[in-house]
Amino acid sequence: MSETDLKLIIDDELDEENNELIENEVLEIKSKVDKKNIKKELSIKDLPGVGAATAEKLESAGYRDIMSVAVSTIGELVESTGASEAVARKMINAARDSMKMGFETGMEVLKKREIVNRISTGSDNFDTLMEGGFETGAITECFGEFGSGKTQIGHILAVNALKENPNAVAVYIDTENTFRPERITQLAEGVGLNPQDVLSRIMVARAFNSDHQMLLAEKVESLINEQGKDVRLVVIDSLTSHFRAEFVGRGTLAERQQKLNRHMHTLAKIACMHNICVYVTNQVMAKPDQFFGDPTTSIGGHIVAHASTFRIYLRKGKKGSRVAKLIDAPNLADGEACFEVLTEGLKDFS
Ligand code: GTP
Ligand code: MG
């Protein structure tokens, strides 16, 4: 071995030792920073105007951490704690200050987007349209006529959301009695998962009316906070059927939209705070005054349309295929994907 070879080997070893030292140092610094952060984290009781009694009221209304107060509205706080508007405003402002909820740089936003996951639909075409699948931290809405595949997508998402992580849980809020465990079994087998394990990690609730549906959505928080469930997906199938049935006639439109707005607000909050994928289905109705183009429109109007981060229009295609058309997305190009519903899952239509 020449002298230079020997020197190289020694250099390599020294480098390795150095790397290890540096790594240890980094770990130490990280743990110190973590400890500091934990100490700095405030609890609800640290907010101005919150004594033991108010804290208790807040907690029983589902406000468990500063973030939940920071993202609530004055009206919500007044309603759930009986505090005056001024006190509620003070609490929210203090919570927002402590969460540093002001402006942030684009780089910081980009960093936050790193935690976004995507849940596969099983169809490559459809996944490509969504740049990998349905995003966590956002609401995705599929609307389309009967039999267009909205419920099937809800079922396959529930299965695929559980694939990567053995502790993950999916929540299914069923308003039309169309959740079928037998179908979950087929789809789980289709992706090579144990059907019983999958079924045991899907929490299903039947919503009997719009108030019940709204309550169930609010209860998702307690599944996470009280029962420690790692909820990855919330399906609401269908978002609008109860609202549509209960509020009939023009005179009730304002009230319906107000309630829907509150419901969407709850959903957006859980999606954002817990990095959950929220999937909602929506029906279409005929637009009697439209003569050109597609004569259908989705229920819920602008309220639902604006609150959904991604909107997909589903329609039946040729030879039993289904076509998904991306109507609205913050960062994806509009486009279409053709797929079909098979016993084992969604597959590209060829
Ligand atoms: P509505 O809720 O009535 O508005 O319809 P939807 O959009 O929820 O339709 P859904 O998701 O229920 O789609 C129904 C279609 O999926 C059926 O017409 C079938 O083509 C297909 N489908 C449902 N279950 C199965 C199944 O077990 N095997 C196969 N191969 N196809 C299925
Ligand atoms: Mg359905």
pLDDT at position 194, please?
97
311 membership: H or E segment, kind and range: strand 310-316
Mutual angle of helices 52-60 and 74-81, in 10-degree steps? 110
Confidence at residue 40, expressed as pLDDT on a 0 to 100 scale: 52
For residue 147, which ligand has an atom nearest its CA? 1
Q: In one letter, which amino acid is 48?
A: P
pLDDT, residue 22, reads: 61
Q: How far is the CA of 318 from the centre of ligand 2 (A)?
A: 20
Output the residue whose Cα is nearest ligand 1's atom 22. 341
211-227 residue pLDDT tens:
999 999 999 999 998 89
* Ligand with the closest atom to the CA of 142: 1
Low-confidence ranges of the chain (pLDDT < 70): 1-41, 287-296
3-state secondary structure of 276: coil
Instruction: Decide: 308 in ligand 1 pocket, CB within 6 A.
Output: no
Nearest to 213 by CA among 267, 161, 254: 267
- Ligand 2 centroid, distance to 312 Cα (angstroms): 15
Taking the C-alpha atoms of residue 16 and residue 175, their distance in angstroms, rounded to an integer, is 60
- Which ligand is in closest contact with the Cα of 144? 1
- The rounded Å distance from CA 151 to ligand 1 centre is 7
Q: What's the CA gap between 107 and 109, in Å, rounded?
A: 5
| Ligand 1 in reach of 150 Cβ (< 6 A) | yes
- Both tokens of 14, joined, read 């020294």
Partners of residue 139 on adjacent β-strands: 278
Quick one: pLDDT at residue 43?
A: 83
Distance of CA 140 from the midpoint of ligand 1 (Å): 19
Ligand nearest to the CA of 150: 1
Q: How far is CA 99 from the centre of its chain?
A: 21
The amino acid occupying position 92 is: I
Cβ neighbours of residue 9 closer than 8 Å, sequence gap 6 or more:
none
Atom of ligand 1 nearest to the CA of 153: 11
Q: How far is the CA of 328 from the centre of ligand 2 (A)?
A: 21
Q: Is the CB of 147 under 6 A from ligand 1?
A: yes
Closest C-alpha among 61, 121, 126 to residue 88: 61
Q: How far is the CA of 111 from the centre of ligand 1 (A)?
A: 38
Q: Which residues, other chains included, contact 168 with Cβ-Cβ below 8 Å and sequence gap of 6+?
A: 161, 162, 201, 230, 231, 232
Query: Best substitution site from 151, 237, 285, 344 to test ligand 1's pocket, by max atoms within 8 Å of Cβ?
Result: 151
Is the pTM for the entire model greater than 0.85?
Answer: no
Q: Is the dihedral of CA 295, 300, 305, 310 positive or negative?
A: negative
* Model confidence pLDDT, tens digit, residues 235-248: 999 999 999 999 98
Q: To test ligand 1's pocket by mutation, which of 152, 153, 236, 240 has the most ligand atoms within 8 angstroms of CB?
A: 152
Three-class SS of residue 343?
coil
Q: Which residue minimizes the CA distance to atom 15 of ligand 1?
A: 147
Q: How far does residue 85's CA lie from ligand 2's centre (Å)? A: 42
Please tell me the distance from the alpha carbon of residue 338 to that of residue 317, in angstroms, as a whole number.
8
Residue 149 CA: nearest ligand 1 atom is 11
Give the pLDDT confidence of 97-118 residue by residue, as tens digits: 887 777 888 998 898 889 999 9
